[in-house]
Amino acid sequence: MLESKMPNVLFVCSGNSERSPSAEKLFQNFDGKWQTKSAGTAPSPGRNPLTQALVDWADMILAMQPEHTQHIHAGFKCEIDKVNVLGIDDIYDYGDSDLVRELKRKVTPVLRSYWNPSSMGDTTAVEDLWYFAYGSNLDPAQLRKRIGVWNGTIKCILGKHRLVFNVYSPHWRCHTANILATGNPNDKVYGVKYRISKQQLDRLTEQYEHVDPRYVGEIKAFAYCFQVTLRGARPSPEYLDTLVRGLISHGYGNDVVDEIRKIAGN
């Protein structure tokens, strides 16, 4: 159960002069449920620096770009799933109407899913849904080529499943990632949830040769789970590099990367 106290969200950008303070002001007391603060990884004079105290204060941290997530995990003690990437570039002025529109589009569903995560899996109740990526689609550049722009991301770890490389891909010309349910509480799969449209999910399904995604209740997201009998094999260096690049871009550290490389046999 979620606590009844008003939760805290910390917005992080580079200088704490444009994007993050705009978000702090816009979402203060959002839906009557959120306290907000903002900080910068390289703050402009007189602006708020990111500190361990702020990281500890936050129930959720929303970073504007992947490099901010990497900075947080490299410099501070922070739970992996506390930080999410919005994907908002440093091209706006403070309070810019286009920035406000982009913040509303990307932040609103993330904050509301904190209180009502079950609604994110109901494709009839909301315009968008959550898609769980654990393979090459972890890489934002890779996914952007496949479906275009999405509306938000949340770092996510799926428990009682394990990562295997047992799906042969003609595109990659190697065995690629798959997930298997094990029921073992020690098993986990590192990934990210992308907020996408039903049409974008259908586009992915077409590319996966019409393998239907499965709704995974534990994480309130759709994922592609391939029913194959092939034994696992090493993925190609190119495929593994794409997967690892995605993990790093979403703030996973060297310990997770090393674990994935070990699973892949590289």
Single out the residue in 69, 88, 115 at which a domain terminates: 115
- Taking only the tens place, the pLDDT of each residue in 109-126 is 888 777 655 444 444 334
Among 74, 89, 115, which residue terminates a domain? 115
Q: What is the pLDDT of residues 135-175, one digit of tens each?
A: 999 999 999 999 988 878 888 999 999 999 999 998 999 99
The rounded percent of the chain whose pLDDT value lies above 70 is 92
Strand intervals (E) in the chain: 8-13, 35-40, 60-63, 83-85, 128-133, 153-159, 161-169, 174-181, 188-197, 214-216, 221-223
107 and 157 part of one domain:
no
Is residue 222 domain-resident? yes
- Tell if the pTM clears 0.85, that is, is over it: no
- Amino acid 137: pLDDT: 97
Q: Which domain holds residue 132?
A: 128-264
Percent of the chain with pLDDT over 90: 60
Torsion of CA 169, 170, 172, 176, to 10 degrees: 10
Task: Report residue 1's pLDDT band, with 50, 70 and 90 as the boundaries.
Answer: very low
Q: Do 111 and 133 reside in the same domain of the chain? A: no
Is the domain of 162 the same as that of 240?
yes
CB of 119 closer than 8 Å to CB of 184: no
Structure confidence by residue, pLDDT tens digits, 33-52: 789 999 999 999 999 999 99
